[in-house]
Structure 1
Amino acid sequence: MTVPVLNVTNEDVQRTVTLEEGHFLDLKAINISPAKLSKAISAFANADGGELFIGVDEDKETGNTWRGFKVPENANGHLQIFEELFPLGGEFSYEFLRHPDPAKGLVLHVTVQKTREVKKASDGTPYIRRGAQSLPARTTESLDRLYRNKGITSFETELVNAPLSLVSNSETIISFMLAVVPVAEPLPWLEKQLLVRDSRPTVAALLLFSDEPQIPLPKRSAIKIYRYKTTDPEGARENLAFNPITIEGCLYDQIKQSVTKTAELIQEVKVLGADGLEPIQYPFETLHEIITNAVLHRDYGIADDVHVRIFDNRVEVESPGRLPAHVNERNILNERFARNGTIVRLINKFPDPPNKDVGEGLNTAFAAMKKLKLRDPVIRQTENSVVVDIRHQKLGTPEEIIMEHLAGNSEITNKQVRELTGIGSENKVKSIFYNLAKAHQIERVPGKGGGSAAWRKYTGETE
């Protein structure tokens, strides 16, 4: 393995030694064994990728110090095991960082991408990165979840001990067959599609063609819709407008009903606009595509439902399971990977399918937000799910948004700016107000101070 050597500055050295270990970063001393290092690389590859710096001594009291390899050859033991387990290429890259003081040596910098395959450490065990830890995946449950997260296996193919009549004689399969394959009988067609094996239906068969898949697949096949009357980061029981709504039925019906219901509830949310209180507007295409994506690409092996949470300033759609294979938050709009390939393929055969443009759903959602001049949805992962935040925030700088609001309204408050822009800090908004006032763009509304303070367009009357 030929590893390049890069000269770094003292600023680069300081930046490196002050890095904090976490989910995407690990610091190791040169005397750590290659076997232990392979666990960290395996963990990064099986999670979301990360970086490893070998040649940094950690000390919480005095601070970390740079103590690298004297010459590149001293790292051969590490590089040999890396080449065997994690060969140099698109997913793994290696480079030496040379300190400006040659006596301080070279730090080996390893960059790991999220891989398509499960990567094992030298002890034959795959590891998973969680926070600043590299945890072994040894139990059947943790291994199953890892292989599903990688897209190597899918819970949709699992067989279920349920009566065949649930999928071979349901109203859903009969209407589907009449519309799509009227010359075929349900059971032979289901067997041909590998949706029935050994006289048992698969998870995909029940989700697609059972009238009530929630009976054989409880707590993992419904959609729950919540309405929280708050803009707080998390909803609480006291903010619920009503008990959560549960949408059941086959996936095709679930998607249509949940999108329609979500759109209805959003129309009831009012925000202050140019003409007083106005209903929030989200593109229907955005809601449709993001909810469809959550239902079709979730991990059905996790006993949880899809959750749609409607707040005063945003909609959150949470889908069980992390992003599969090599897909991450940064490349999700450009990469394609179907965790549930059978479900994605067959639901597209339904009349007026929810996934019309297969693989383009999220791109459509983002484009629809731009048309309304709203900010892009935000995609984030939790430990066991993917959450998409669809925020009612206008594109533009905070200054532009303030002036645009004042073009149609007599005044604006700190709270309103935070709701319009998503800025969390009250002091930051105050600073923006002061800068606009200094530029003679706005001024305080006379007689309003403290908690009721407000600003209006500049008139010069208060000077």
Structure 2
Amino acid sequence: MPITLEKINDEQLNQILSSQESHFLDLKSIDIKPAKLTRSISAFANASGGEIYIGIDENEIDGVKYRNWRGFTDQEQANAHLQVFQELFPLGQYYNYTFLSCDGYSGLVLQVGIHKTREIVNALDKRIPYLRLGAQNLPQETEEKVARLRLDKGIDSFETSTVKADIEVITNSLPIINFISSVIPSTEPEQWLKKQQLIINGKPTVAGVILFAEEPQALLPKRCGVKIYRYKTTDQEGRRENLAFDPITIEGCLYHQIMLAVKTTKEIVEEIPKLDSGKLKHIKYPDEVLHEIITNSLLHRDYSILKDVQIRIFDNRIEVESPGRLPGHVTLNNILKEQFARNGVIVRLINKFPQAPNKDVGEGLNTAFEAMTRLRLKVPVIVETENSVIVYIRHEKLASVESAIMEYLVKHDTITNRTARAITGVTSESTIKAAFSRLRSQGLIEIVPGTKNNTAAWRKAR
């Protein structure tokens, strides 16, 4: 991996020194032993990734902690530290590093970016994995903790575990009878289920029960249902006194759950009045938004966690909470680009259903985001908690095209049609041209002298 050297200014240096160690940041002295450093590397790689600065001392005087820059004398002095990255990541993946210098300060600080890995990474000193939580590196020293980490990262999947039940719960059920008629070539339910590894050693698997049992919740209680709440409030938390009615429970096989959860959520949301331009209107989302986000939450949830998917409908937003952290190497930063199926069997087989809910495998969230942007609605916000992923869908429109252009010109001297399309999500050049024309007629902007046609740039009127 090539080594780069970058010079930073005093402001950037002070920003590093004043940063608080967190779930995503660690500061280390050059005196740290390379093997001990691998605890932080392991912890970040096994969690959500993070950043380490090596060359920052922390001292305490009269109870007050302060930091100072004390870097490596040269790049060669950091060789022992660099070698641990190559030992942990022999393929050169999952990390990058840069040496930083600053005028007036001695030595080079090593800035290392650690990416979330597909595999479990062990620290070298104790040969066990660590996990980053807050500003701590927590050892995962028991079999139970390692097993949980394997599930969280998607190395193991609960869907392949067997359930203590007779195979008849999936071989003679209504869902399998309805489904098997569409299988090519024609076959018998038990034969097909065994071929698909949904029956193992005479027992149905979790995936088999979720897909084809008539009441999976009876066999896997609190692991595979959906709860829908309607709170008449815009508060951050929903409270019992704000409930419009008792929570709705959606049960049944997965295909039925997805369809009914989407339909029920849509009906409840469209009953919510919203004041728009002085008139009360009912809230509407593009059909694919609720469908894709709810489908995604059910297909990719961690079925080993004793919690149902929760859909919370507020006056100003919808929250869809799916049990389990983001699997594999997926992070909040790359979730729209990367694909990783925690429940690969479920995702693959439900795609074989007539009118499959996941027609475009891997494109669900992208479809939802694009649909919101097309209608000038704020895109969903995704948050990862300690044990779940929550998608927030807000009942809010984006600023008008004109407002977005003027906001951009507060911090930038000029704007072009291409830039305006990028910041507004509008794909039509003519729509942007019309917005520029309206702003010019109001005396708010003017064309930059010497620019015209396809290269035209605009600035605030002077």
Q: 1:342 maps to what in 2?
A: 345
What is the deviation of 1:87?
Answer: 4.3
Is residue 226–residue 310 contact of structure 2 (8 Å, CA) maintained in 1? yes
What is the deviation of 1:175?
Answer: 1.1
Q: Give the ranges of 4+ consecutive aligned residues of structure 1 lying more than 6 Å apart after TM superposition.
A: none
Is residue 223–residue 308 contact of structure 1 (8 Å, CA) maintained in 2? yes
Distance in 2 between the 1:153 and 1:372 partners?
A: 40
Residue correspondence of structure 1 range 5-20 to structure 2 within 5 A: 5-20=5-20
Distance in 1 between the 2:65 and 2:173 partners?
A: 69
Q: 1:459 maps to what in 2?
A: none
Q: 1:22 maps to what in 2?
A: 22
Is residue 271–residue 280 contact of structure 1 (8 Å, CA) maintained in 2? yes
Q: 1:381 maps to what in 2?
A: 384
Deviation string, structure 1 residues 197-252 (Cα, Å, up to 9, x no partner):
10001000000000000011111000000001111112111111111111000000
Residue correspondence of structure 1 range 26-45 to structure 2 within 5 A: 26-45=26-45
Paired residue secondary structure (1:58): strand
Paired residue secondary structure (1:121): coil
Q: 2:323 maps to what in 1?
A: 320
Is residue 88–residue 94 contact of structure 1 (8 Å, CA) maintained in 2? no
Q: 1:372 maps to what in 2?
A: 375
Is residue 224–residue 303 contact of structure 2 (8 Å, CA) maintained in 1? yes
Tell me, which stretches of 5 or more residues in structure 1 are unaligned?
402-438, 442-463
Call closer, same or farther: CA 1:397–1:19 in 2, change over 3 Å.
farther
**Do residues 172 (structure 1) and 187 (structure 2) align?**
no
What is the deviation of 1:7?
Answer: 2.8
Q: 2:123 maps to what in 1?
A: 121
Distance in 2 between the 1:223 and 1:17 partners?
A: 46
Q: 2:76 maps to what in 1?
A: 73
Paired residue secondary structure (1:215): helix
Residue correspondence of structure 1 range 188-203 to structure 2 within 5 A: 188-203=191-206
Q: TM-score, normalized by length of structure 1?
A: 0.83
Larger mean Cα displacement after TM superposition, 181-190 or 47-56 = 181-190
Paired residue secondary structure (2:214): coil
Distance in 1 between the 2:18 and 2:257 partners?
A: 50
Call closer, same or farther: CA 1:142–1:399 in 2, change over 3 Å.
farther
Q: 2:141 maps to what in 1?
A: 138
Is residue 173–residue 209 contact of structure 1 (8 Å, CA) maintained in 2? yes
**Do residues 289 (structure 1) and 292 (structure 2) align?**
yes
Deviation string, structure 1 residues 252-301 (Cα, Å, up to 9, x no partner):
00000111100111111111123622111112210010000000011111
Q: TM-score, normalized by length of structure 2?
A: 0.83
What is the deviation of 1:372?
Answer: 2.2
What is the deviation of 1:59?
Answer: 3.9
What is the deviation of 1:181?
Answer: 4.6
Call closer, same or farther: CA 1:53–1:399 in 2, change over 3 Å.
same
Distance in 2 between the 1:317 and 1:20 partners?
A: 31
Larger mean Cα displacement after TM superposition, 150-159 or 214-223 = 150-159
Percentage of pairs with the same residue: 56
Aligned-residue RMSD, C-alpha:
2.2
Is residue 180–residue 350 contact of structure 1 (8 Å, CA) maintained in 2? no
| Letter in structure 2 aligned against 1:304 | K
Distance in 1 between the 2:155 and 2:65 partners?
A: 45
Q: 1:48 maps to what in 2?
A: 48
Deviation string, structure 1 residues 90-125 (Cα, Å, up to 9, x no partner):
4111222123235x2221111111111111110211
What is the deviation of 1:400?
Answer: 4.4
Q: 1:229 maps to what in 2?
A: 232
Aligned length: 404
Is residue 219–residue 304 contact of structure 1 (8 Å, CA) maintained in 2? yes
Call closer, same or farther: CA 1:29–1:353 in 2, change over 3 Å.
same
Is residue 7–residue 97 contact of structure 1 (8 Å, CA) maintained in 2? yes
Is residue 86–residue 92 contact of structure 2 (8 Å, CA) maintained in 1? no
Paired residue secondary structure (1:64): strand
